[in-house]
């Protein structure tokens, strides 16, 4: 059984009209909206069946949420159950939730019925009419439950305003006649800001405040005033106090007005106490005599004082207090909290319930009873006595048992600021005077532990001699000696190959470090195309090229300007005086150079310079897309644009 319930998390219950608009709009948005005559009849049936099923599922989920989020009377604590019965009438509440459940089943039935009928529809028109009928009937059901929706929303609003009362925690309940000072008392003890006015029934509902006492959190409940008349004649406000008194395991503080300014005499207040006393069963009860700053208890008439003494004789403590001057307020709080705490501990010890703390409250310790008068002293074996005698040590000049010697904490308390932690005083050494000798770990760069053994060098020499003898005996013979001739030859060839590879590698690294930079074959050939080279090559072929024979060569070219002029001689880009730019070096011709420039410019072009949309583009190019706004009428116009 759930002991508490969080009523503030209940979702808002919409009205039937709002729910109808929501579910129809959601069905229109979440399902396909276009159907054509050319569709096969099976596809048309599936199209309209989907709309019916979607609306049914949406309504089913919404009604299920309403039913599940509202608390069940059987699942909540009896305090909350009775409080809800007083405020909302348990029968009306259950009827409203039952009608929600019935509507949910009817919606499911309508959807199943029309989906079955849809299988026999033989045209687009009949499928559409069945869909309209199904949606209409489901929406009509919501209209029939209009009053239930409104009632549950009012209940939800009131439940969310109820105070968060934990029925199982430590609680103090204030009760009494109206206007006796209950709200002033809770305002003094806690941070609750309850309205205080000089007239009756200022507090119309339960108020909760919290305080800390003995490092524990306590809740204080301020109840509305209770008038002294039969239970069946009490109104809703008074019944809230009765419910809290009946169901909460708490300490009860009955506040009385000793000055009778609440328009109720002492006799009437005692009579009310006796009338509701059955509700105080198994609860610590305290009576707070308020407003003693106006009138003291000693100033009361004798007959009224007798009534109070009668209550005291029945083991009911009476504490005089004043919420105006704070006299006795803390004393009443402490007395009530201590009594409730003691009672809760006692109940836990006597309960048979296994708690999370363990089963200590169920453990019974049996003490043996002596069967006769004979004294049976405990027997201690002699071995134990010897062991105990060996444990006696001398501490500060006195013989003390090792177990009973003073702890460091005790010494620290005795000596105070003079105490110094000594970790070496209990060292067990062969020579006790060496306890406080300073022994270094490292000396002149060497570890002291290496020189502790005096025979270390002799052992090391013996170990070396043993290793020499083992090697001479052939214990560590190389595995290569056991190989055959073929294996030895292969290993020798492998060594030669490795040596040759190493030589090639070193030679290559030497060339790379000292050789001139390489050039392309094309540029190398251009450097060789000189006039002298051409004359030598033509001369070897029997052609004599002299200056006089080439005199008219330039004039012949001028007559034909369209002819490409032959370039003879070294390239200007390769002249020794003026080196060519780095982007031209290594390029065979200008056409290739232009192509590479074009590729370079394209690669270096900034990204997205064509303003194409990317993943992170939030730009809205069209504010009013035509497919959403074409044909719509504007505000205040009846003609289409």
Tokens linked to 322? 């004043």
Token digits of residue 312: 């005291």
Rounded CA Rg of the chain: 54
Topology of 16-161 in CATH?
1.20.120
Q: Which helix (H) or strand (E) holds 56?
A: helix 41-69
Assign domain 171-350 to its CATH architecture. Answer: 3-Layer(aba) Sandwich (3.40)
> Given a cut of 60, is residue 233 above it in pLDDT?
no
Cβ 177 vs Cβ 226: under 8 Å: yes
User: Which pLDDT tens digit goes with each residue over 598-623?
Assistant: 888 888 776 655 556 666 666 666 77
**Which run of H or of E encompasses 52?**
helix 41-69
| Strands 318-320 and 285-290, bridge-based pairing | parallel
Q: Where are the alpha helices (DSSP H) in 351-484?
A: 382-390, 408-415, 456-472
Residue range 287-317, pLDDT digits in tens: 888 888 888 878 788 888 888 888 888 878 8
The phi and psi torsions of 318 (rounded to 5 degrees) equal -120, 125
**DSSP-derived secondary structure for 118-184:** HTT--SHHHHHHHHHHHHHHHHHHHHHTHHHHHHHHHHHHHHHTS----TTS-EEEEE-STTSSHHH
Separation between Cα atoms, residue 403 and residue 438, nearest integer Å: 30
Task: Give the residue among 283, 311, 85, 33 at the shortest CA–CA distance from 171.
Answer: 283
C-beta separation of 19 from 142 below 8 A: yes
Res 399 pLDDT > 90: no
- Distances, alpha carbon 244 to alpha carbons 207, 224, 256, 302, 425, in Å: 11, 10, 19, 34, 67
Residue 60 predicted with pLDDT over 70: yes
Q: What is the maximal distance between C-alpha atoms in the chain? A: 163
Asked, colleague to colleague, whether 16-161 and 171-350 share their fold, the answer is no
Could you give phi then psi for residue 601, rounded to 5 degrees?
A: -65, -35
Residue 129 has pLDDT above 50, yes or no: yes
Query: pLDDT digit string (tens) for 167-187?
Result: 778 888 888 888 888 888 888
Looking at residue 557, its pLDDT comes to 46
Beta strands in 162-246 (DSSP E): 171-175, 207-213, 216-222
Q: Which pLDDT does position 571 carry in this prediction?
A: 46
Q: How confident is the model at residue 358 (pLDDT cuts 50, 70, 90)?
A: low
Q: What is the reported pLDDT for 495?
A: 92
Query: What global pTM score does this model have?
Result: 0.45
Residue 395, pLDDT > 70, answer no
User: Which pLDDT value is given to residue 519?
Assistant: 67
Confidence check: pLDDT of 31 > 80: yes
Q: Which residue has the tokens 């409203």?
A: 96
Give all strands (DSSP E) within 223-309, no chain letters.
251-257, 285-290
Q: Tokens representing 500? A: 């040759």
User: Out of 64-78, 245-259, 345-359, which region has the weakest mean confidence (pLDDT)?
Assistant: 345-359
Q: Burial letters for 603-629: b for 16+ Cβ neighbours within 10 Å, e otherwise?
A: eeeeeeeeeeeeeeeeeeeeeeeeeee
Angle at 443 between CA 437 and CA 444, to 5 degrees: 150
Is the CB of residue 96 less than 8 Å from the CB of residue 178? no
Which alpha helices (H) appear in 430-572, and where do they start and end?
Answer: 456-472, 485-514, 521-528, 531-540, 553-559
According to DSSP, residue 233 is labeled G
The full set of domain ranges for the chain reads 16-161, 171-350
Count H helices and E strands in the chain, helices first. Answer: 20, 10
Average pLDDT, the chain: 78
């Amino acid at each position: 059984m759930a002991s508490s319930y969080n009523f503030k998390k209940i979702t808002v219950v919409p009205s039937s009209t709002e729910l109808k608009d929501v579910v129809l709009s959601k069905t229109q948005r979440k399902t396909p909206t276009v159907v054509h005559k050319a569709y096969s009849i099976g596809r048309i049936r599936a199209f309209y069946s989907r709309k019916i099923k979607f609306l049914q599922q949406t309504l089913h989920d919404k009604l299920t949420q309403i039913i599940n989020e509202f608390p069940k009377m059987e699942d909540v604590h009896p305090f909350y159950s009775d409080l809800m019965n007083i405020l909302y009438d348990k029968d009306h509440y259950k009827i409203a939730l039952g009608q929600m459940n019935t509507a949910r089943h009817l919606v499911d039935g309508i959807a199943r019925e029309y989906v079955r009928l849809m299988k026999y529809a033989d045209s687009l028109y009949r499928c559409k009419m069945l869909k309209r009928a199904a949606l209409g009937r489901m929406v009509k059901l919501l209209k029939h439950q209009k009053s239930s929706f409104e009632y549950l929303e009012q209940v939800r609003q009131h439940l969310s305003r109820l105070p968060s009362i934990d029925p199982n925690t430590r609680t103090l309940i204030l009760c009494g006649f109206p206007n006796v000072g209950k709200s002033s008392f809770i305002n003094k003890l806690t941070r609750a800001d309850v309205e205080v006015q000089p007239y009756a029934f200022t507090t119309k509902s339960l108020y909760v405040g919290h305080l800390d006492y003995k490092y524990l959190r306590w809740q204080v409940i301020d109840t509305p005033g209770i008038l002294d008349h039969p239970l069946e004649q009490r109104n809703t406000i008074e019944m809230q106090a009765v419910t809290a008194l009946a169901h909460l395991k708490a300490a009860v503080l009955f506040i009385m007005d000793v000055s009778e300014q609440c328009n109720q005499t002492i006799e009437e207040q005692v009579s009310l106490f006796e009338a509701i006393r059955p509700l105080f069963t198994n609860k610590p009860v305290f009576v707070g005599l308020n407003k003693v700053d106006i009138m003291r208890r000693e100033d009361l008439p004798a007959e009224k004082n007798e009534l109070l003494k009668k209550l005291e004789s029945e083991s009911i403590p009476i504490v005089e207090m004043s919420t105006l001057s704070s006299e006795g307020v803390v004393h009443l709080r402490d007395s009530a909290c201590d009594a409730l705490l003691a009672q809760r501990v006692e109940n836990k010890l006597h309960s048979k319930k296994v708690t999370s703390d363990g089963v200590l409250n169920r453990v019974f310790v049996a003490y043996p009873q002596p069967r006769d008068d004979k004294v049976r002293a405990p027997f201690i074996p002699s071995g134990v006595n010897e062991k105990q005698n060996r444990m006696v040590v001398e501490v500060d000049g006195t013989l003390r048992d090792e177990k009973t010697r003073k702890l460091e904490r005790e010494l620290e308390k005795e000596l105070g600021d003079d105490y110094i932690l000594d970790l070496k005083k209990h060292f067990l050494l062969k020579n006790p005077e060496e306890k406080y000798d300073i022994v270094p770990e490292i000396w002149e760069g060497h570890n002291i532990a290496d020189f502790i053994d005096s025979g270390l060098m002799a052992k090391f020499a013996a170990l070396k001699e043993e290793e020499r003898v083992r090697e001479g005996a052939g214990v560590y013979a190389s595995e290569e000696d056991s190989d055959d001739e073929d294996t030895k030859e292969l290993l020798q060839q492998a060594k030669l190959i490795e040596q040759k590879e190493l030589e090639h590698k070193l030679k290559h690294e030497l060339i790379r470090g000292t050789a001139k930079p390489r050039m392309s074959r094309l540029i190398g050939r251009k450097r060789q195309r000189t006039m002298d080279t051409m004359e030598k090559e033509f001369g070897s072929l029997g052609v004599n090229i002299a200056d006089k024979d080439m005199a008219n060569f330039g004039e012949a070219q001028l007559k034909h300007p369209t002819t490409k002029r032959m370039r003879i001689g070294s390239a200007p880009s390769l002249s020794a005086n003026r080196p060519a730019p780095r982007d031209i070096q290594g390029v065979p011709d200008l056409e290739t150079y232009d192509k590479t420039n074009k590729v370079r410019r394209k690669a270096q072009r900034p990204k997205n310079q064509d303003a194409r949309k990317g993943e992170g583009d939030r730009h809205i190019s069209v504010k009013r897309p035509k497919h959403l706004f074409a044909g719509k009428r504007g505000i205040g116009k009846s003609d289409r644009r």
